[in-house]
Amino acid sequence: MFELNLSPAWADAVFKRSSVRRFLEAPQKSELEVLGQLCKKLSWQGISVRLFKGPGLKSVIKGTDVYAVIVAKNNTVPELEGYMGEALVLEAVSLGLDTCWLGAGFHPDIVNKNVNLQNDEHVNCVIAIGKANRPEFNPKRRSFEQLCGLDEKKLKELGPWQYAAVSSARVAPSAINMQPWNIEVTETTLSVLNKRVLIGKYAGVDRGICMLHAAVGAASLGRNPTWKKGEDGCQMRV
Ligand SMILES: Cc1cc2nc3c(=O)[nH]c(=O)nc-3n(C[C@H](O)[C@H](O)[C@H](O)COP(=O)(O)O)c2cc1C
């Protein structure tokens, strides 16, 4: 599970992205072709990522009508939706585009019809995509210490891949910025653990997003991360 070729370009993208809701325009055809190719690679293990242009987004999003829909089989773990969806986000950002994950900001009736949703499938989230004047990267996130029990200095002492992975995971987006995860990091592993939050509807998707960021960080230092799902979260070995 969670097998995916991680593009080296995504290592920078994690530190460039932030949610955009007001776009200047939709992506160009050539950009949609690149994203469309990636969607095919992301569509397996019970997940299908599909691009649409047209109605479906609510008015919280202005200036683009392009969005990706993450369709999931009902028996897949929600972390996979986040993992594959965030790969598309990071690729879009690498192309100079901007995005916004949406759990509430889309019309389910239109989207479900567009994807011809089957009884054994669901859509939790879509991702709006377009061009924008990218806002300054200024994420409001929990501190390193709150996140993993180690301050930045101690984390650096633990090792370079650990520092890269946690730094990247720390800036992952989540619904209402709840950051429903804790991170445990050792010599050889990094675990994204479940953290109880007030509104947990998207917590699984959020953790998958965080896992992709952690994997991208570890891969940027030559590691080859693999994931295993456990009772209280997911563990990455490098
Ligand atoms: C699973 C998920 C669902 C989200 N749903 C919405 C939404 O319905 N409407 C919205 O405006 N933003 C939504 N967001 C965006 C978050 O509010 C945003 O990622 C978070 O506040 C962190 O800000 P940043 O992405 O700019 O770093 C969602 C994000 C995630 C990951």
Q: Tell me the pLDDT tens digit for each residue of 83-110.
A: 999 999 999 999 999 999 999 999 999 9
For residue 178, report the distance from its CA to the centre of ligand 1, in Å: 9
Give the per-residue pLDDT at 231.
87
Give CA–CA dist 68/125, Å, rounded: 9
Q: Is the pLDDT of residue 199 over 90?
A: no
Residues 6 or more apart whose Cβ sits within 8 Å of residue 52: 66, 67, 68, 69, 111, 114
Report the sign of the C-alpha dihedral through residues 137, 176, 151, 237, in that order: negative
Q: Is 100 in the pocket of ligand 1 (CB under 6 A)?
A: yes
For residue 208, report the distance from its CA to the centre of ligand 1, in Å: 14
For residue 226, report the distance from its CA to the centre of ligand 1, in Å: 27
Nearest atom within ligand 1 for CA of residue 105:
8
Q: Is 124 in the pocket of ligand 1 (CB under 6 A)?
A: no
Q: Is 93 in the pocket of ligand 1 (CB under 6 A)?
A: no
Give CA–CA dist 85/191, Å, rounded: 20
Q: Which of 18, 67, 176, 181 to mutate to test the pocket of ligand 1 (most atoms within 8 A of CB)?
A: 176
For residue 157, report the distance from its CA to the centre of ligand 1, in Å: 32
Architecture of domain 144-237: 3-Layer(aba) Sandwich (3.40)
Give CA–CA dist 184/192, Å, rounded: 7
What residue ranges in 103-217 does DSSP mark as E strands?
Answer: 121-130, 181-185, 189-194
Q: Is 7 in the pocket of ligand 1 (CB under 6 A)?
A: no
Give CA–CA dist 187/43, Å, rounded: 32
N residues, the chain: 238
How wide is the angle at C-alpha 70 spanned by C-alphas 33 and 7, nearest 5°? 55
Give the per-residue pLDDT at 130.
98
Q: Is 182 in the pocket of ligand 1 (CB under 6 A)?
A: no
Q: Is 99 in the pocket of ligand 1 (CB under 6 A)?
A: no
DSSP 8-state secondary structure symbol assigned to residue 26: P
Q: Is 83 in the pocket of ligand 1 (CB under 6 A)?
A: no
Give the per-residue pLDDT at 4.
96
117-152 pLDDT per residue, tens: 999 999 999 999 999 998 888 899 999 999 999 999
Architecture of domain 10-130: 3-Layer(aba) Sandwich (3.40)
Q: Is 173 in the pocket of ligand 1 (CB under 6 A)?
A: yes
Give the per-residue pLDDT at 179.
97
Q: Where are the domains of the chain?
A: 10-130, 144-237
Same fold, 10-130 and 144-237: yes
Q: Is the pLDDT of residue 1 over 90?
A: no
Nearest CA to ligand 1 atom 29: 175
Q: Is the pLDDT of residue 198 over 90?
A: no
Amino acid identity of residue 47, one-letter, is I
Q: Is 105 in the pocket of ligand 1 (CB under 6 A)?
A: yes
Q: Are 205 and 172 in contact (CB under 8 A)?
A: no
227-238 pLDDT per residue, tens: 999 889 999 999
